[in-house]
Structure 1
Amino acid sequence: MKITIITAVYNREATIGAALASLHAQTHAHIEHLIIDGGSTDGTLAILRAAATRADTTLVSEPDHGIYDALNKGLARATGDVIGILHSDDEFADPQVLADVAAAFAASPTDAVYGDLDYVAADGSGRIIRHWRSGPYSRSRLARGWMPPHPALFIRKPVIDRHGGYDTRLRIAADYDAILRWFTRGHVAPAYVPRVLVRMRVGGESNRSLERIIRKSREDLEALRQNKVGGLSALAWKNLSKLPQFLRR
């Protein structure tokens, strides 16, 4: 199984090296890495050019219209059987992650595999701030605001080819919209790998200000409605379900 990993990056000199190292340490043999850089102006591009000397890595560096536009560029170039995302502030939890994902696909006819995610401190200490335990999937949970962590989701390419990538009209919640679309219109019944697959540094785009939090809620509601999954009650449950993530495991 060939797994394509897409990394969208812009001016992440401080974190991109750790993200790349976590990918290069993977034991799974068949990986395609597509790096879509938005035209970084710090030291990021030098790090990326060094990584792009690997035979399995392709680097594209040019202006884009945000992270979802960059991810769509990656999707258009992807040739793998399965697609995953590695953000420039994230790391795979250990070298066995992609091997376990491939094994989960091989064990069942599923079109998607997902796992758990740890939010860790931005200082690189690895201190866990939140633990996102996804739990098993059921269609009814979507209407209660459930979703798998986007960075810990791997999906077969034909699903994306049939049902589309990221809606760039949505500036913050295009990943939520895409997941709802793949799971509903694509009738995906994903397999759950009950362990942490990805560590994400805190400080994401959606929570940087009250204005962005409000915008994200509006976009989440739009995604729920246009995919005919739910409305305000699903949005409320989605936000409330995050509270247990702050409790110790």
Structure 2
Amino acid sequence: MKVSIITSCFNREETIGQAIESVLAQDYPEIEYIVVDGASKDRSLQVINRYKDRISRIISEPDKGMYEGINKGIRAATGDVIGLLHSDDFLYSPDTISKMVRKFEQSGADFVYGNGLFVDYQNTDKVIRNWMGGSYSKWKVKHGWLPLHPTCYIRKSCIDRLGLYDESYKIAADSDFLFRYLYEADLKVEYLNEYIVRMRMGGLSTDSAKRKQMWQEDVRMYRSHGLPPTWTKLQKMAWKVPQFITAKLKF
């Protein structure tokens, strides 16, 4: 089973190297790694090119945002399963992809998700949120629950059938994508109770300056799917409360 991992990057010279190294350190041999740089204006592309002999494909050209970059990567991917690793983040351990593949093979799943940690931007050993994926049900999705986006790995055949990210969203395209796949489609979904990724706090959806835009886009997204938008958004927020509590208790 070939796994395609896609990293979309723009002006992330400080963190992109760690993201790349976490993929290259994986003990699973059949990984296609695609890095999509949106014509960064800093030294990101120079950092990426240090690893060019070990990256399957590098795409560097202007785009209109992260989701356009991700869609470019998906179109270029040839793997059986596709996963994302954002440029501020890194895979949890060298056997993360091996565990993910084992879950696909043992379960016959179309879609597998796991757990993730939100960490301090500078001190990545400091855990801020402990995101335990938990069991899947369409009822939970209808009431605002979604798995952590970068822990989700999906068969390419399902993406070819169900479609890419809606680029009209700048922040909520991942929520829209997951809702379509986990609620409106009928996929075999499995939960892998393992940490998949460490995510630095400070990305688009964790930047306080972007929270108003995130609220507006989530409301638009839920309304487009026929759900009560404000109520569903509030429920989505409520699912996150235990993440902060368990982070303090566990870490």
| Aligned equivalents of 1:165, 1:83: Cα separation in 2 | 12
Partner of 2:242: 244
> Aligned letter for 2:32?
E
**What is the CA distance between 1:182 and its match in structure 2?**
1.4
SS of residue paired to 1:224: helix
**What is the CA distance between 1:230 and its match in structure 2?**
5.0
> Aligned letter for 1:71?
I
Structure 2: give runs of 5+ residues left out of the alignment.
Answer: none
Contact 2:142 2:183 in 1 (8 A): no
Are positions 1:171 and 2:170 aligned together? Answer: yes
Contact 1:111 1:155 in 2 (8 A): yes
Partner of 2:42: 42
| Aligned equivalents of 1:227, 1:159: Cα separation in 2 | 20
> Aligned letter for 1:171?
K
SS of residue paired to 2:17: helix
Are positions 1:106 and 2:111 aligned together? Answer: no
- The alpha-carbon distance between structure 1 residues 213 and 125, as it changes in their structure 2 partners (threshold 3 A), is closer
- The alpha-carbon distance between structure 1 residues 231 and 125, as it changes in their structure 2 partners (threshold 3 A), is closer
Alignment of 1:152-231 (within 5 A): 152-210=151-209, 212-228=210-226, 230-231=228-229
Alignment of 1:34-113 (within 5 A): 34-54=34-54, 56-113=55-112
| Aligned equivalents of 1:125, 1:141: Cα separation in 2 | 30
SS of residue paired to 2:50: helix
- The alpha-carbon distance between structure 1 residues 125 and 117, as it changes in their structure 2 partners (threshold 3 A), is closer
- Length, aligned pairs only: 247
| Aligned equivalents of 2:139, 2:228: Cα separation in 1 | 10
Alignment of 1:111-150 (within 5 A): 111-150=110-149
**What is the CA distance between 1:51 and its match in structure 2?**
1.5
> Aligned letter for 1:185?
E
**What is the CA distance between 1:186 and its match in structure 2?**
2.6
| Aligned equivalents of 1:215, 1:69: Cα separation in 2 | 18
**What is the CA distance between 1:127 and its match in structure 2?**
0.9
Partner of 2:26: 26
Partner of 2:230: 232
> Aligned letter for 1:51?
Y
Deviation digits for residues 19-73 of structure 1 (CA, Å, limit 9, x no counterpart) = 111111111110001110011122211121121212x520011100000010010
| Aligned equivalents of 1:46, 1:101: Cα separation in 2 | 31
SS of residue paired to 2:112: strand
Deviation digits for residues 65-89 of structure 1 (CA, Å, limit 9, x no counterpart) = 0000100101110110000001000
Q: Under a length normalisation based on structure 2, what TM-score does the superposition of the two structures give?
A: 0.94
Contact 2:141 2:183 in 1 (8 A): no
- The alpha-carbon distance between structure 1 residues 32 and 99, as it changes in their structure 2 partners (threshold 3 A), is same
SS of residue paired to 1:242: helix
| Aligned equivalents of 1:125, 1:38: Cα separation in 2 | 25
**What is the CA distance between 1:233 and its match in structure 2?**
2.2
Contact 1:184 1:227 in 2 (8 A): no
Identity of aligned residues (%): 38
- The alpha-carbon distance between structure 1 residues 228 and 168, as it changes in their structure 2 partners (threshold 3 A), is same
| Aligned equivalents of 1:226, 1:108: Cα separation in 2 | 32
Contact 1:9 1:36 in 2 (8 A): yes
**What is the CA distance between 1:94 and its match in structure 2?**
0.2
| Aligned equivalents of 2:230, 2:106: Cα separation in 1 | 37
| Aligned equivalents of 1:209, 1:124: Cα separation in 2 | 19
Are positions 1:2 and 2:13 aligned together? Answer: no
| Aligned equivalents of 1:125, 1:160: Cα separation in 2 | 32
